[in-house]
Amino acid sequence: MIDAVGDVQKVLLLGGTSDIGLATVRRLAGERRIDVVLAGRPGSRLETAAAELESAGHRVEVVPFDAEDRATYSPAVAAAFEGGDVDVAIIAFGVLGDAERAWQEPDVAAALATVNYTAPVTIGVEVAGRMRQQGRGALVVLSSVAGERPRRTNFAYGSTKAGLDAFFTGLREALRPEGVSVLVVRPGFVTTKMTAGMKAAPLSVTAEQVADITVAALRSGKETVWAPAPMRAVMSALRHVPAPLFRRLPI
At 143-152, the pLDDT tens digits run: 998 888 777 8
Is residue 128 one of the residues assigned to a domain? yes
Whether 210 and 187 have beta carbons less than 8 Å apart is answered as yes
Peptide bond into 228 cis (omega under 30): yes
Is residue 106 one of the residues assigned to a domain? yes
Mean pLDDT of the chain: 90
Domain count along the chain: 1
Is residue 236 one of the residues assigned to a domain? yes
Q: Which of 93, 117, 157, 168 is catalytic?
A: 157
Question: What's the gap between Cα 162 and its chain centre?
Answer: 13
**136 pLDDT band (50/70/90 cuts)?**
very high
pLDDT per position as a tens digit, 223-232: 999 988 877 7
* Lowest mean pLDDT segment, chosen from 172-176, 225-229, 241-245: 241-245
Burial 182-219, CB ≥16 within 10 A → b, else e: bbbbbbbbbbbeeeeeeeeeeebbebbbbbbbbbebbe
* Alpha carbons 17 and 239: distance in angstroms, whole number: 33
Could you list the residue range(s) of the whole structural domain that residue 144 is in? 10-246
Is residue 251 one of the residues assigned to a domain? no
pTM score, two decimals?
Answer: 0.89
* Alpha carbons 8 and 39: distance in angstroms, whole number: 18
* Lowest mean pLDDT segment, chosen from 83-97, 192-206, 214-228: 192-206
pLDDT greater than 80 at residue 210:
yes
Is residue 191 one of the residues assigned to a domain? yes
Is residue 51 one of the residues assigned to a domain? yes
Residues 6+ apart with CB under 8 A from 60: 35, 36, 37, 38, 50, 53, 54
Q: What is the CATH number of the domain that holds 185?
A: 3.40.50.720
Is residue 5 one of the residues assigned to a domain? no
Is residue 144 one of the residues assigned to a domain? yes
If you ran DSSP here, which 8-state letter would residue 95 be given? -
**117 carries an active-site annotation:** no
